Amino acid sequence: MHKLLTDKPGDQMMLLGNEAIARGAIEAGVGFTSTYPGTPSSELSLSFFQMSKESDLYFEYCTNEKVAVEVSAGAAACGVRSMAVMKHVGLNVAADALMTLAYVGVKGGMVILTADDPAMFSSQNEQDNRYYAKISGLPMLEPSSVEEAHRIVADAFDLSEQLQEPVLLRTTTRINHSSGVVTLGAIRPRRTRGSFVKDPLNLVTVPAVSRKLHVKLLQNYEKALELAETSPWNLREGDGPWGILCNGVSYNYVKDAVGDLGIAAKVRLLRIGFSHPLPPRKIRDFLQGCEKVLVVEEGEPYLEEGAKAIAQEAGLTLPIRGKAPELLSRLYEFDPAMVRRVVGDYFGVPWKARPPVDVSDLPPIPQRPPTLCAGCSHRATYYEVRKAAEELGIETLYPSDIGCYTLGLLPPLSMADYLICMGSSTGTAGGFAQASGRKVVSFIGDSTFFHSGIPGLINAVFNQHDLTLVILDNGITAMTGHQPNPGVDMSQLKMEGYGRVSIEAVVRALGVPHVTVIKPYKVKKSVEAIKEALQFKGVSVIISQELCVLYAANLKLPRRKPFQVSDKCRNHRVCMTRLACPAFYVWNERIKIDANLCTGCALCAQICPENAILPVKEEKR
Amino acid sequence: MMETKRLVMVAVGGQGNLLASSVLGEAARLAGVPMRMSEIHGMAQRGGVVESALIFGNAHSTIISDGDADVLMGFEPAETLRALAKCNRNSVAITNLAPLMPFTVNIGQGVYPDLNKLQALIRAKTARLIAFNATALAREAGNVLSVNMVLLGALTQTAVLPLTVDHVKAAMQHKTKPAFLDANLKAFDLGFAAAQNA
Ligand SMILES: Cc1ncc(C[n+]2csc(CCOP(=O)(O)OP(=O)(O)O)c2C)c(N)n1
Ligand code: SF4
Ligand code: SF4
């Protein structure tokens, strides 16, 4: 049985934050779960996926986050407790649905998890999604630890049912990817089917209905305000004159700082865990007891602005500070020493830090950026597109997209010139084609194509842009940990009950005038096909089909024979300087191939001018 | 109240530091020591660096600031050096001496640091450096992939963390595959002995 389905209340388990949230949802009786994957939330979705195979919990991987919110909204409208999981930027994609779902509301509890990523460990920006609560008018809860993350989920569901509207649950990477000990609670009965009661005058958002629904949303806001006033997630500790207002993981850094500085008796702390709407009376009462207040929150000055507005209404003039050059930054994540220093400085407490060792005299350390795996099909496609462009002597521009293939940005491939967000490769390409005067070749992965690449391609067909789109179809959503997408052959995973959408059929159906499918491990043929596509005037699409090697290895598909560099090698190093496959290494000034890493894609063998790279002979292995 | 102890582990994706964390988590549970940890493992499978912070005792934070590590344990020498700012003068550093060449070096961007110089630098700046070829010991133990267990042996020898040999070995029984247990225990002992002699 999946460990998170263990029905032993009181047992303790060391869980990853994401697992703790999944367990919290199971205990809350969630029946319907949906997601589009994204770090740092991916293990939460994975837990649901795994549990759905062993229980009646329903889970689906959706085409994108908007769809994930929509399917969960449908289930919640039938009275089923539902949860949609995504990373912070996913909520941008889902925002259109979210804003009006806030009006329509839900019947069964619905929780939308947004996993923010301060410091951008694996994201394209570090937006602070607390503002989504503000703009939508929906309640938001935020845990400070793994243990709280586990317990807060049931409260989020209860709150959602009480107010009959979705609740936003916000985490940050350091919650999702921390581990702590969780005490299991009882599992409430799970309802996976409900019933839908027709009520178009409240559920179909034509203007006349929405005008009414907005009134309801504002009434709910008032109710939520009252609930926030008494919510145990807004924690008050201590009653000294030095106020500290904080949220999320910052609370932990503050607690440690207060302990280290020995100032517990002087501090009055308010930790906001019910972060929208902010409780005005609670904050006012807190402020009234303080001489001065420091607001410790990662990201934007959300609490700081809220507290200042409340102080203004209450006629309080005490200093309330947070974001400032000498205090705390809007950038990146906080850490305990930083918070300790700022708390110490702000309240004038002397503190002797343990100085880090001096690293100014260390020799330069070579970077170790993540790189495409040995034998990654993306490397082959990139090489071939570059080669084709070189042979044609055309100047190219490469808008890219988000996935493993974005790693092709780095030299020696250097195959990404522009990137905004998922799906942007197809849209931006049109602008570049029109305005740059260069040949535009953009790249998109299979999952990203389904997620949000299709509208941009339709746009290119309709507006007759002159561009080539390369769809890097490696048969899986690799970057975020090999999740399925609509193009994936689920029978390979021995899973039933799934359809499959053919990218080629979609592209042809869109009316793309020039469509080619290539097998990127066949270098010569691929380069010829790409050259043809590049010369086509209008929209051309190349679908490069080859399974992600890491996924193929996970599937235990037969391995190809590894290659080795024979003594025919004359040390041109074309393989190294053009491909930099991580299976290469240098030994006694010669290129060697690590047979344990080489996946036998044969790309290097096909480009070696001496034909010096050959398969390892059986007996040698 | 028990003193808080902080361990930073750095490794290259695939070196098995996630299993090492999970063994230490289990050992802490067996020892009755509160423990929290966090891991940044976004692109581990694509050869990036994985950094784990493990905090034993009553602290709330799950990350470790520069200067705050009691122990820094590196699975790869250049990565140990890169993370050195986590240490203060009183920290203990443990490092594997078997390099994994970053591809950037292979394509001529940067030079791999000299291992003797690297050790001299770390030794001069910290209280104690334990440096040895953990990969060779793992091979000797019968499983090249047991570098993590070798390093756990060395870590346990330092006695900085509130965990005994028995705790860690029992945790290894719970958390590692039975088929590898003998090799893993041998790897642990070799690492422990290497730290004694370092
Ligand atoms: C709106 C949004 N949702 C999710 C993500 C996380 N994410 C980044 S890349 C990616 C999928 C990449 O899959 P694919 O396009 O198939 O490329 P591959 O990694 O397989 O090469 C996801 C889900 C994101 N960055 N933005
Ligand atoms: S995981 Fe797959 S797609 Fe990603 S770099 Fe490795 S081989 Fe390429
Ligand atoms: S065949 Fe060449 S390019 Fe392909 S994985 Fe092996 S070493 Fe790398």
What structural domains and CATH numbers belong to chain A? Answer: 3-230 (3.40.50.970), 235-346 (3.40.50.920), 377-489+500-554 (3.40.50.970), 563-620 (3.30.70.20)
Q: Residue A385, class by beta-carbon neighbours within 10 Å (0-12 exposed, 13-18 middle, 19+ buried)? A: buried
What single letter denotes the amino acid at residue A406? Answer: T
- Chain A, 419 to 438: residues with Cβ < 8 Å from chain B are none
pLDDT number for residue B44: 60
Residues of A in contact with B20 (CB under 8 A): none
- List the beta strands (DSSP E) in A273-358: 274-276, 292-296, 320-321
A367 touches chain B (CB under 8 A): yes
- Chain A, 124 to 153: residues with Cβ < 8 Å from chain B are 145-146
- Ligand 3 surroundings by CB, under 6 angstroms: A 374-375, 563, 579, 581, 583, 593, 598-605
Going by CA atoms, what residue is nearest to atom 2 of ligand 2?
A: A548
pLDDT number for residue B197: 92
- Chain A, 28 to 47: residues with Cβ < 8 Å from chain B are 39-40
- State the average pLDDT for chain A: 97
At residue A39, φ and ψ (nearest 5 deg) are: -65, 140
* Distance from Cα A564 to the centre of ligand 3, integer Å: 9
Going by CA atoms, what residue is nearest to atom 8 of ligand 2?
A: A376
Residue B63 structural domain: 5-98+109-197
Going by CA atoms, what residue is nearest to atom 6 of ligand 2?
A: A373
Per-residue pLDDT tens digits for A356-402: 999 999 999 999 988 999 999 999 999 999 999 999 999 999 999 99
Are residues A373 and B84, on separate chains, in Cβ contact within 8 Å? no
The CA–CA distances, whole Å, from A618 to A335, A556, A571, B113 equal: 53, 20, 25, 37
- Chain A, 289 to 348: residues with Cβ < 8 Å from chain B are 333, 335-338
Going by CA atoms, what residue is nearest to atom 6 of ligand 1?
A: A38
Percent of chain A having pLDDT more than 70?
99
Are residues A585 and B49, on separate chains, in Cβ contact within 8 Å? no
Rounded CA gap, A387 and A137, in Å? 53
CATH of the domain at B48: 3.40.920.10
Going by CA atoms, what residue is nearest to atom 2 of ligand 3?
A: A604
Domain contains B127: yes
Query: Does A478 sit in the ligand 2 pocket, CB within 6 Å?
Result: yes
Choose the closest CB to B106 out of A253, A407, A585: A585
Output A332 or A351, whichever has higher pLDDT. Answer: A332
Closest CA of chain A from B191, distance in Å: 25
pLDDT number for residue A223: 98
Domain contains B73: yes
Residues of A in contact with B82 (CB under 8 A): 365
Per-residue pLDDT tens digits for A260-314: 999 999 999 999 999 999 999 999 999 999 999 999 999 999 999 999 999 999 9
Domain contains B103: no
- The DSSP secondary structure of A126-169, one letter per residue, reads ---THHHHHHHT--EE--SSHHHHHHHHHHHHHHHHHHTS-EEE
* Distance from Cα A582 to the centre of ligand 3, integer Å: 8
- The pTM assigned to this predicted structure is 0.97
Residues of A in contact with B65 (CB under 8 A): 335-338
Closest CA of chain B from A363, distance in Å: 7
Q: How many CB atoms neighbour CB B47 within 10 A?
A: 22
What is the number of domains present in chain B?
1
- Residue A619 scores a pLDDT above 60: no
Question: What ligand 1 atom has the least distance to the C-alpha of A421?
Answer: 26
- State the average pLDDT for chain B: 95
Residue B65 · residue A336 · CB < 8 Å: yes
pLDDT number for residue A353: 78
- Choose from A43, A357, A593 for mutation: most chain B CBs within 10 A: A357
Mean pLDDT of B54-72: 97
- Ligand 1 surroundings by CB, under 6 angstroms: A 36-38, 87, 89-90, 93, 124, 402-405, 422, 445-448, 472, 474, 476-480, 548
Per-residue pLDDT tens digits for A21-37: 999 999 999 999 999 99
Per-residue pLDDT tens digits for A62-82: 999 999 999 999 999 999 999
Per-residue pLDDT tens digits for B78-116: 999 999 999 999 999 999 999 999 988 887 889 999 999
What ipTM was predicted for this assembly? 0.96
- Residue A351 scores a pLDDT above 50: yes
Percent of chain A having pLDDT more than 90?
97
Place of tokens 């880090």: A356
- List the beta strands (DSSP E) in A554-598: 563-565, 584-587, 590-593
B148 confidence band (pLDDT: 50, 70, 90): very high
- Residue B43 scores a pLDDT above 70: no
Rounded CA gap, B15 and A616, in Å? 26
Residues of B in contact with A411 (CB under 8 A): 107, 109
The CA–CA distances, whole Å, from A475 to A370, A486, A543 equal: 21, 9, 11
Per-residue pLDDT tens digits for A517-539: 999 999 999 999 999 999 999 99
Per-residue pLDDT tens digits for A139-162: 999 999 999 999 999 999 999 999
Domain contains B104: no
Residue of A nearest to B58 (CA): A256
Residues of A in contact with B61 (CB under 8 A): 249, 252-253, 256, 335-336
Residue of B nearest to A260 (CA): B59
Q: Residue A53, class by beta-carbon neighbours within 10 Å (0-12 exposed, 13-18 middle, 19+ buried)? A: exposed
Place of tokens 């679908």: A543
pLDDT number for residue A621: 46
